[in-house]
Amino acid sequence: MSIQSNKCIVLASRPVGEPGADNFRLETTSVGPIEEDQILIKVLYLSLDPYMRGRMSEAKSYAEPVAIGEVMSAESAGVVIESKSDLYAVGDHVCCRSGWQEYYVSNTKDPMTYKVDANAVPLSTYLGVCGMPGRTAYFGLQHEGKPQAGETLVVSAASGAVGSVVGQIGKKLGLHVVGVAGGAEKCAYVKDELGFDAVIDYKSDDLHAALAAACPNGIDIYFESVGGALTEAVAKHLNDGARVPICGYISNYNSKDITKERTPFHIFGELANPPAHKFFLVFDFYADFAEANSALVNWVSNDQLKYRETMVEGLAKTPEYFSWLFSGKNFGKLVVKIAD
């Protein structure tokens, strides 16, 4: 089978500051025919995540940048529509790293392509709570945060795809969990639906006073995804022996020169007694992905782990949707529906 019309979005230019529509280009290509040990995947859902902003830059990073003219990188969930592999059958649901496009050819041995059970949980959740963001929360908190029951955990971006899972796992582990989110609606969700012990609205609360009130015994673990003013405030409340898993620092991502920004590494590193702080990658724990996948799917299917998605439609509008990540317009995991 050959697909004669495969729409894809490529990187047209490197953004200076926040990405705009002119940094992307919609193209139409063809796909196939596939070869032995390959499968053809129809993309149904596409994941949008903050890390993609870093892949648009030539600045030194943990991963190679997307080349100009190359399909934007992304995880997706889809269905196998043709197979020349003994491991996959037509109709199997899979996750893969397809990028921003409608169809994708994957090799049987590609470790980033794997089968998922769309009957256990909705297929789109494998891009969020049961996927990379969920695994990031699972490993980041437990392996990097090293939690002990009774400790205080502060979670930045607490209503987001990663933070919402971090806090809920923290509650399962017996922590006092304080979330930070933006706006009354997101704060109410974090407190009332996710069950955090306290929530701080970074848009309206005095961060120092709010942290002191919510964390009377100081902060033992801070799960970092934001940076900036929040990190400056948290640093003043950290206990001796505190741990800071650094998932990201989105407040700096659109800087015209991130090398001149004051990042969490500067903020924590200059403290008289710095916490254990490390930028970690979920792929550091690749060997244990099955463990995390099983736990997350089990919790979601048994209503023990709540989640929120912002589901939008249309590949062509993906650049517009991508900008929502930096304005806070999305609520929870941002997923683009590509096809039925």
The CATH number for 100's domain is 3.90.180.10
What average pLDDT does range 128-137 have in this prediction? Answer: 97
pLDDT at 182 over 90: yes
In a domain, 140, yes or no: yes
| pLDDT at residue number 63 | 76
Encoded tokens for 285: 């724990």
pLDDT at 261 over 90: no
Q: Are residues 203 and 243 in the same domain?
A: yes
Q: Are residues 136 and 117 in the same domain?
A: no
In a domain, 298, yes or no: no
Residue 200: give the domain boundaries. 132-283
Q: Are residues 148 and 213 in the same domain?
A: yes
Q: Are residues 269 and 312 in the same domain?
A: no
Identify the band that residue 331 occupies on the pLDDT scale cut at 50, 70 and 90: very high
In a domain, 155, yes or no: yes
- Rounded distance, CA 280 to CA 328, Å? 23
In a domain, 290, yes or no: no
Q: Are residues 138 and 122 in the same domain?
A: no
pLDDT at 255 over 80: no
Q: Cβ distance 134 to 128 under 8 Å?
A: yes
In a domain, 296, yes or no: no
**Strand duo 93-96 + 103-107: pairing:** unpaired
Q: What is the value of pTM for the model shown?
A: 0.93
The CB density around residue 54, as the number of other CB atoms within 10 Å, is 16
In a domain, 190, yes or no: yes
Q: Which residue has the tokens 């499968």?
A: 39
Q: Are residues 138 and 112 in the same domain?
A: no
Output the CA–CA distances (angstroms, integers) from residue 262 to 20, 57, 69, 121, in the order listed.
Answer: 24, 18, 32, 40
Closest-CA residue to 171 (of 190, 188, 143): 190
With 0-12 CB in 10 A as exposed, 13-18 as middle and 19+ as buried, what is 130?
A: buried
| pLDDT at residue number 58 | 82
Q: Are residues 143 and 122 in the same domain?
A: no
Helix ranges, 148-288 (H)? 163-172, 184-188, 207-214, 228-235, 264-269
Could you give the percent of the chain with pLDDT greater than 70?
A: 100
- DSSP letter at 22? G
Q: b/e string for 2-38 if b means 16 or more Cβ within 10 A?
A: ebeebebbbbbeebeeebeeebbeeeeeebeebeeeb
- Rounded distance, CA 156 to CA 255, Å? 20
CA atoms within a 13 Å half-sphere pointing along the CA-CB vector of 91: 1
**160: Cβ contacts below 8 Å, ≥ 6 apart:** 133, 225, 332, 333
Q: Are residues 145 and 116 in the same domain?
A: no
Identify the band that residue 150 occupies on the pLDDT scale cut at 50, 70 and 90: very high
The count of structural domains within the chain is 2
Determine if the peptide bond prior to 33 is cis (ω within 30°).
yes
In a domain, 303, yes or no: no
In a domain, 302, yes or no: no
pLDDT at 251 over 90: no
| pLDDT at residue number 270 | 95
Residue 133: helix, strand or coil by DSSP?
helix
pLDDT tens per residue across span 218-248: 999 999 999 999 999 999 999 999 999 999 9
Encoded tokens for 69: 């003219």
- Rounded distance, CA 186 to CA 207, Å? 17
Average pLDDT, the chain: 95
Q: Cβ distance 319 to 23 under 8 Å?
A: yes
Residue 220: helix, strand or coil by DSSP?
strand
Q: Are residues 272 and 137 in the same domain?
A: yes
The CATH number for 215's domain is 3.40.50.720
Q: Are residues 80 and 15 in the same domain?
A: yes
pLDDT tens per residue across span 104-124: 999 989 999 999 999 999 999
Closest-CA residue to 133 (of 154, 163, 105): 163
- Rounded distance, CA 312 to CA 76, Å? 14
Q: Are residues 111 and 139 in the same domain?
A: no
Q: Which of 247, 266, 283 is the last residue of a domain?
A: 283
Q: Are residues 262 and 314 in the same domain?
A: no
